Amino acid sequence: MSARPEVDPEVYAEARSAIRGQLEASVNEIDAQELVCAELYQRFDHYSWVGIYVIEGDELVLSAWAGEEETEHTTIKVGEGICGLAAATGRTEIVPDVSEREEFIACFPSTRSEIVVPIMGHDGVLGEIDIDSDELDAFDDLDRTLLEDVADRLSRVMTGGM
């Protein structure tokens, strides 16, 4: 059973529509990333921190975020932690209980679950959306579907394909 209260699927549809519209009007990659972080953080109570990391060489570098405070983990090696794993594999990672994953790198002591969604480009991973929750088992298929769609839209902005 999920630890979070049920979220109306319509809230996800509204978020998807709002983010799509705003991304179409965004003027550059940084603005697009910042608006995505702000929208997701504001719309979903179970999202306690939202960040976007971009690939620079063999590292993920924090590019935009929304939450109470910035994480001290502003760079993460590809392949390390949950973020690094998602960047290395190009697959979405959902972690219902971060205490059960020894490779988890704690950004905040309050984090209980995490979802990381790669932003894919033509030649591989460009970056990722990283979301922490202070609730156990906070993420489900509605979150995955929304965030994978948002990542696809961000990819278009980041590669100039929008």
Using the 8-state DSSP alphabet, how is residue 5 labeled?
A: P
88-104 pLDDT, tens digit per residue, is 999 999 999 988 877 76
Per-residue pLDDT at 5: 62
Whether 106 has a pLDDT exceeding 90, the answer reads no
Binned at pLDDT 50, 70 and 90, residue 3 comes out as low
5-61 pLDDT, tens digit per residue, is 677 889 999 999 999 999 988 878 999 999 999 999 999 999 999 999 999 999 999
Per-residue pLDDT at 107: 75
Amino acid present at 67 = G
Matching residue, tokens 């983010």 = 19
Per-residue pLDDT at 99: 87
List the chain domain ranges: 9-158
Residues 77 and 134: their CA atoms lie apart, in Å, by 24
> Which has more confidence, 26 or 146?
146
Query: DSSP secondary structure string, 64-128?
Result: EEEESS--S--EEETTSHHHHHHHHH---EEES-GGG-TT---SSTT--EEEEEEEEETTEEEEE
Conformational region of residue 101, where left means phi above 0, alpha means psi within -120 to 50, and beta covers everything else: beta
Contact by Cβ (8 Å): 148, 92: yes
Q: Is 3 exposed, middle or buried (0-12, 13-18, 19+ CB in 10 A)?
A: middle
CB neighbour burial string for 37-53, b if at least 16 within 10 angstroms, e if fewer = bebbbebbebbbbbbbb
- Give domain 9-158's CATH superfamily: GAF domain (3.30.450.40)
What percentage of the chain reaches a pLDDT higher than 70?
94
Residues 70 and 50: their CA atoms lie apart, in Å, by 10
Per-residue pLDDT at 1: 41
Using the 8-state DSSP alphabet, how is residue 63 labeled?
A: E
Whether 2 has a pLDDT exceeding 50, the answer reads no
Residues 28 and 33: their CA atoms lie apart, in Å, by 9
